A and B are shown apart, each in its own frame.
Chain A
């Protein structure tokens, strides 16, 4: 899959494998491209794990410092974002677990994946939002944090199941089931029993 529209130096579409390869051999334009595109995405992912922007920024800095220092020795990849995300998440979570000060209860992971969906804004905008949308909204709010993370990686970052499974430390099959189950519940919410919904509906205000 092509990630960048115009890699100006070469003048034609390049895929992740090529760009990464060029970066490894010392091409700093490739580094520029990689940083510009992916530091942003990593940051956005980090914000879903913690409000601590210092830790997020430090982790981004660490990751890129590492790959620059070791560029010649790095492996190859077909998906640069996934490659960076793996180390980024690991590092970020390790820092969060160390900083696990504000949660006195046992929380092994050190974070809870948290996201606000675009549907939130839609629902408010249209107080008379059709029932379908409201029903879907409720179903989305019932997703677990794990489901939300998997969905983000699949439907916003478009990672493969294999890559999502590795990022979330689960089996590929488990990952597939997690996402399928979540999507099915969202689909089901769109087929509510309309007459009854109308009867019991309460609006705010």
Chain B
């Protein structure tokens, strides 16, 4: 390695944007370490630049990088098998039911999961190919298929899913994260070892450590969840989403932070939380029960107001409550919950809904209830729905 290449770097950016410098930071080895150590000694005026460059590069690395290794292994087996099969022209034959039975006869169910219900000319069904899963810190996964699942973490760090115990690899370190993924159309209830209760809504992901740190309890959330945190003044509980960070001592609250939504909301049901933007100078706001904190992604504004908490937490009990809710939002919630396509005809956006809606097993029943009680109706077409004027 030639020091000459780096002598001309005058700023921190010069180092950060240098491919070889980045390579060293990401893949240190004895040889490179020695080179850079002597470089810093010889050009001590550049030491601060280099230290800052390393800080930035390291801070930009992602966390929680675990993959479902066993699932990937299964895929590899299928892939190898298919490599030996004769080529099959998918596009034209999929339209015909005969092609479907041929697929099943060959036993290649894998292809069914690629061309899902939107393309199959079959009756609408509530069957979905998506399963919920837990990805453990060591890469193994456990899938579950029930619409509602209970996951419980024991003191030793083991997990039970719907009462099936899963023994985890005991030499996981403290800082390793496990991840629970709930696809659209499903819900899950999680009980952590510290007694905290979490309800995960459709389309959400929660990352939590196998073992909490000694001075704090941290979880990461994308999507929506309801938290009932076990009080522990020595170990504050943090929920981190992309935009806001919430600190709790012991309390019940709902957080909604879907990446495709414009607003991130936290509603406090019981206890006390302190919340703020995930940034410096985030004026922290305290919430008391009945208050909602809203972060607007479009203008980065944070605000607080009083709400009826039932409107935001009833989903954990299987029903939704609306009060003058615009039609688009109502059906967005239902789409997520049931994992089925629902579109709203033009010209209906002014309509709002109020009332209690039970989330039964079948979306069709729910839509019939809505149609019965309001000025809209619905049309069904191969598993997807269109909301129209009555």
Contacts and interface: CB of A to CB of B under 8 A. Distances in A.
Interface of A: 1, 35, 39-40, 43-44, 48, 51-54, 57-58, 60-62, 64-65, 68-69, 98, 101-105, 107, 112, 114-122, 124-125, 132-138, 140-142, 151-152, 154-156, 158, 179-180, 183-184, 186-187, 190, 197, 200-205
Interface in B2-47: 11-13, 16-17, 19, 22-23, 26
A119 B130 CA distance: 32
B125 interface: no
B61 A200 contact: no
A21 B129 CA distance: 36
Given A101-B341, A136-B56, A155-B22, A68 B82 contact: yes
Contacts of A190: 12, 52, 55-56
A114 B221 CA distance: 12
A120 B63 contact: yes
A202 B284 CA distance: 8
Interface in B127-170: 129-131, 133
18 contacts: A48-B62, A51-B204, A54-B113, A54-B183, A58-B113, A61-B78, A98-B118, A101-B341, A114-B259, A118-B61, A121-B218, A124-B238, A125-B216, A137-B59, A137-B279, A138-B280, A187-B16, A187-B52
A179 B18 CA distance: 12
A122 B175 CA distance: 11
Interface in B255-270: 258-260, 262
A15 B114 CA distance: 33
B205 interface: yes
Contacts of A133: 55, 59
Nearest to B238: A124
A134 to B, nearest CB: 5
Contacts of A121: 63, 175, 218
A26 B335 CA distance: 45
Contacts of A53: 68, 130, 133, 181, 183
Given A141-B277, A156-B26, 4 more contacts: A48-B62, A121-B175, A155-B26, A184-B13
Contacts of A132: 55
B76 A112 contact: no
Given A65-B83, A68-B83, A125-B213, A51 B240 contact: no
A62 B12 CA distance: 42
Of listed A53, A132, A134, A151, residue having the most chain B CB within 10 A = A53
B72 A43 contact: yes
A81 to B, nearest CB: 14
A126 B93 CA distance: 59
B236 interface: yes
A65 B23 CA distance: 32
Contacts of B260: 102-103, 107, 112
Contact of B82 (A65, A101, A119, A197): A65
Interface of B: 11-13, 16-17, 19, 22-23, 26, 52, 55-65, 67-69, 71-72, 75-76, 78-80, 82-83, 87, 110, 113-114, 118, 129-131, 133, 175, 181, 183-184, 203-205, 207, 213, 216, 218, 220, 222-223, 236, 238, 240, 242-243, 245, 247, 258-260, 262, 274, 276-284, 328, 332, 335-336, 341-342, 344
Given A51-B222, A121-B218, A140 B283 contact: no
Contacts of A101: 335, 341-342
B240 A61 contact: no
B233 to A, nearest CB: 10
B83 A183 contact: no
A39 to B, nearest CB: 5
Contacts of A102: 184, 203, 258, 260, 332, 335-336
A133 B63 CA distance: 17
B114 A69 contact: no
A109 to B, nearest CB: 11
Contacts of A187: 11-13, 16, 52, 56
B247 A205 contact: yes
B328 A124 contact: no
A60 B63 CA distance: 22
A173 B62 CA distance: 26
Nearest to B86: A69
A115 B65 CA distance: 10
Contacts of B56: 136, 183, 186-187, 190
B332 A204 contact: no
A69 B83 CA distance: 5
A205 B129 contact: no
Of listed B68, B220, B259, B281, residue having the most chain A CB within 10 A = B259
A21 to B, nearest CB: 18
Contact of B59 (A40, A103, A122): A122
A86 to B, nearest CB: 18
